[in-house]
Amino acid sequence: MNKIKNLFGDSWTEVMENVTWPTFSELTASSTLVLVASLIFALVVGLIDFAFKSGLELFYQSF
């Protein structure tokens, strides 16, 4: 039981004294970057999916 108490105490000390929390502007910038990157990635995957679908439809129509 003492080990668990020490673990939580050490974890709390780590979070309160050693962790560097981002500012609101840094957090906003990072969130915007993740959102834009996710949208671009979704668009690329959608275009690849559309290309494969169209290609396979053309291939199957040839038979």
Over residues 8-62, the pLDDT tens digits come to 999 999 999 999 999 999 999 999 999 999 999 999 999 999 999 999 999 999 8
The answer, as to whether pTM is greater than 0.75, is no
What is the band of 1 on the pLDDT scale with cuts at 50, 70, 90?
confident
Q: Quick check: is 17 in a domain?
A: no
Total domains present in the chain? 1
- Biggest CA–CA distance in the chain, Å, is 73
Q: Quick check: is 62 in a domain?
A: yes
Q: Quick check: is 4 in a domain?
A: no
Q: Quick check: is 29 in a domain?
A: yes
Q: Quick check: is 56 in a domain?
A: yes
30 and 22 in contact (C-beta within 8 Å)? yes
Q: Quick check: is 60 in a domain?
A: yes
pLDDT at 61: 94
Buried b (16+ CB within 10 A) or exposed e, 18-31: eeeeeeeeeeeeee
